[in-house]
Amino acid sequence: GRGLTARRAGAFAAIWLWNPMVAAISTRGSSEGLLGGLTMALLWAVEGRRVALAGALLGLGVHFKIYPFIYAPAIVWWMDEERMRGGAAPASKTKTSPSLVEAAVNFVTVARVKLAVVSLSTFTALNLLMYSIYGTPFLVHTYFHHVTRIDHRHNFSPYNMLLYINSATPADSGPTASLHTESLAFVPQLLLSCVLIPLVLAKKDLATSMMAQTFAFVTFNKVCTSQYFLWYMIFLPLHLPGSSLLRSPKLGVSALLLWVVAQGAWLQQGYELEFLGKSTFLPGLWLASLGFFLVNCWILGIIIDDGAQRPVIHGKTHTD
């Protein structure tokens, strides 16, 4: 529990439920609202120790849209044996540290194995079903596309310019044509969202860890559009109650204004490019992309710092 009254919890939930940005994006053909529901259901199942259900939701979520796979490391790291036995705090640091082999053996628990088996089984079954219906195009448009995509329209990412340049480069222009700089975007993106942030935050506050992971994943993605913002906005009702963004109104207002203004600056350049036909790629659009990226990095730092300073939060106990 997070110690909120029903009235206060409802007020924070309204940040998502009554958000015009959520409504606008969810009614234009995007499925982000449904995916947000799956994400919250996954968090609820994990913190309630409903391991089989959590595994099924994780497998369904990754099949539905790939990015929820980043939550798997955090969930697995969170599910230590002490916590799964009833929410007790991790073992005291005064105990003798186990050897590397003992630590590896202790890491493999029934709950973690169960989560892996159920999630992989669900994911595999759904993919086999879709492949049997749609064949190879399903694999191309669902998975392979993300490795080679060069979306340069409506893209807030600093990689936008590289993608635009590469979109005009013939696919067979040389032996290294398929190896572009923006392909390396996955390295910092996955290092942050799948390794570093879960290690730092997951055992302290799983919800904040998942929000920070999602925020990092979107910020460092080579394609960053407005609908992706909903991926982390779903966590705001859980993160904000104990966040420094609310404890310090000056900090919170500054972060919100900079986030909005940075988007507005990019959109102004994008409007001139796409509607007025002006070439704003350099320096305007690229500098706007860098500005928005830096603002997001700053906000990400605030989220991580908040999570690192929080006391350990345990979910309610449930055994399935």
What per-residue confidence (pLDDT) applies to 201? 97
CA torsion angle for 246, 250, 255, 260 (degrees, to 10)? 110
d(CA 156, CA 291): 10
Please state the pTM of the whole predicted model.
0.90
What per-residue confidence (pLDDT) applies to 266? 96
Compute the residue count for the chain: 320
Q: Which residues contact 1 (CB under 8 A, 6 or more apart)?
A: 316
Structure-block tokens of residue 228: 């992706």
What per-residue confidence (pLDDT) applies to 318? 43
The pLDDT tens digits along the chain (320 residues) read 577 899 999 999 999 999 999 988 888 778 888 999 999 999 999 999 999 999 999 999 999 999 999 999 999 999 998 888 865 444 444 557 778 888 888 899 999 999 999 999 999 999 999 999 999 999 988 888 777 666 667 789 998 888 887 777 655 554 444 456 666 788 999 999 999 999 999 999 999 999 999 999 999 998 899 999 999 999 999 999 989 999 999 999 999 999 999 999 999 999 999 899 999 998 999 999 999 999 999 999 999 999 999 877 665 544 44
